Amino acid sequence: MADTPDLLIHGGTIIDPASGAERRADVLIRNGRIETIGDDIGAGSAERFDASGMYLSPGWLDMHVHLREPGYEHKETIETGCAAAAFGGFTGVACMPNTNPPIHTRDVVEFVIERAQRTAVDVYPIACVSKNREGKELTEMADLVDGGAVAFSDDGSPVQSGGLMRRALEYSSMLGRPIINHMEDLTLNPHGHMHEGEVATRLGVPGIPGLAEDVMIARDILLAEFTGGHVHVAHISTARGVELVREAKQRGINVTAEVCTHHFTLTDEAVDESDYSTDTKMHPPLRTAADVEAMKEGLRDGTIDVICTDHAPHATFEKDVEFIAAPFGILGLETAWALTARELIQPGILSIAEAVRKLTTEPRRILGIDQVEITEGAAANLTIFDASTKWTFERRHIHSKSRNTPFVGDEMVGKAHAIYNRGKLVRAAG
Ligand SMILES: [Zn+2]
């Protein structure tokens, strides 16, 4: 990092998500490390970043991202996905293993880490639970962790066999790593395309029942209790699921949960209102207003630990088809903070510190990644943001290789202005 230019971040407020403490101070970064934190530090030859009216926090980490490389580089590459992350204020992402080849052997774990070296964003591979994500035979979990995998998931292909899930939890707990399950009993959802309910009936679209998610969350809570393993609920979307996690936590079971930004923002009415836009089709699907309220309550009372995106790029030619033929998933990295600020902070559901904790401290704790602090001597890894800037999300703000987001044209509140990590400052232009 010897060639890294020095940087003075001037006039910002440093927020400590662990304690909620705020401190107005300048931060001087030299050679990628925080040298001094104090009042009115002179810039000298250092580049100056005016952070007046902005906050600085430890760099954010999105623990549910699809980077698509290797294998689906027409949707996203590690480089473009990291550019989207940097624009959105994230200095780290954990990436899902449904690539081709899947992240089910150590060489693929190492490939992903190696490809991310040039970017300003730390990439943490999540490896497969089962070989080829087929749900039959466990991967070489210890070897995958040695290579750098931080967790296990067959995301997109939920682990159907309770027996396999039991063994996965037994092994992963020995490694101190969570199993992240896409919670769905596929026999309860053979062919759905949106939330099963009033809107789906009205539109005549086959539904995905909330029950398919609830049943699997209940099973995995019981398996976590039995094995002592750590189950992490991927992209929770149902009110009943939140209740199950709340009860399990009260009983001391090792279960944690994340929610995607779209699941506390939109309901299944968006499918109708957008005239079947395939950018309202994701998995789990957008659900009801009562479910959205339950997501907010779960975030507020701590049942839901983490805010994530399930950033799922698809090429335009793939999404530009009939609703029923389209793949599931939307972009998330570029709009994550603005939706968090608009939907959770502005209405007073979370404080800024609480929201930031669900984007920094909590995902790192769950994944067993070292915490980041803004303190003298530490490697600089931080996000510069506010929760008040009004702006319109436009196509030019999309840094992903794909374009599949329902939020173009949305009035946003709150912006990530820049990240600093790995000796690099990345400003979110515009
Ligand atoms: Zn999933």
CA–CA gap between residue 343 and residue 229 (Å, rounded) = 33
Return the pLDDT at 3.
62
Asked whether the beta carbons of 28 and 47 are under 8 A apart, the reply is no
Ligand 1 centre to CA of 119 (Å) is 25
Q: What's the predicted TM-score (pTM) here?
A: 0.97
Q: How far is the CA of 158 from the centre of ligand 1 (A)?
A: 8
Q: 3-class SS at 411?
A: strand
Report the half-sphere exposure of 155 (CA within 13 A, side-chain side): 33
Identity of residue 85: A
Main-chain phi, psi angles of 226, to 5 degrees: -70, -40
- Give me the active site residues, please: 310
In the prediction, which pLDDT does 4 show? 76
Q: Specify burial of residue 274 (Cβ count, 10 A radius: 0-12, 13-18, 19+).
A: middle
Distance separating alpha carbons of residues 293 and 257, to the nearest angstrom = 16
Q: How many CB atoms lie within 10 A of CB 278?
A: 25
Ligand 1 centroid–CA 297 distance in Å is 22
- Digit-by-digit pLDDT tens for the chain (430 residues) are 446 789 999 999 999 998 899 999 999 999 999 999 999 998 889 999 999 999 999 999 999 999 999 999 999 999 999 999 999 999 999 999 999 999 999 999 999 999 999 999 999 999 999 999 999 999 999 999 999 999 999 998 999 999 999 999 999 999 999 999 999 999 998 899 999 999 999 999 999 999 999 999 999 999 999 999 999 999 999 999 999 999 999 999 999 999 999 999 999 999 999 999 999 999 999 999 999 999 999 999 999 999 999 999 999 999 999 999 999 999 999 999 999 999 999 999 999 999 999 999 999 999 999 999 999 999 999 999 999 999 999 999 999 999 999 999 999 999 999 999 999 999 997 6
- Residue 225 is predicted with a pLDDT of 98
196: CA distance to ligand 1 center in Å?
Answer: 18
The residue written with tokens 């971040």 in the block is 9
37 Cβ contact list (under 8 Å, min separation 6)? 14, 25, 26, 27, 28, 374, 375, 376
Q: 400 near 79, Cβ under 8 Å?
A: no
Which pLDDT value is given to residue 1?
44
Q: What is the Cα–Cα distance from 86 to 44, expressed in whole angstroms?
A: 27
The alpha carbon of 142 and the centre of ligand 1 are apart by a number of angstroms equal to 23
Are residues 155 and 103 in contact, defined by beta-carbon separation less than 8 angstroms?
no
Q: What are phi and psi of 18, to 5 degrees?
A: -70, -45
Q: Which residues of 187-203 are buried (b: 16+ CB within 10 A; e: fewer)?
A: ebbeebbbbbbebbeee
Q: What's 74's DSSP letter?
A: T
Centre of ligand 1 from the C-alpha of residue 372, in Å? 27
- What pLDDT is attached to residue 5? 80
Tokens of 334: 């570029």
Q: What is the pLDDT of residue 108?
A: 98
Quote the pLDDT of residue 43: 83
- At residue 162, the 3 state secondary structure works out as helix
Looking at residue 306, its amino acid is V
DSSP SS3 for 272: helix
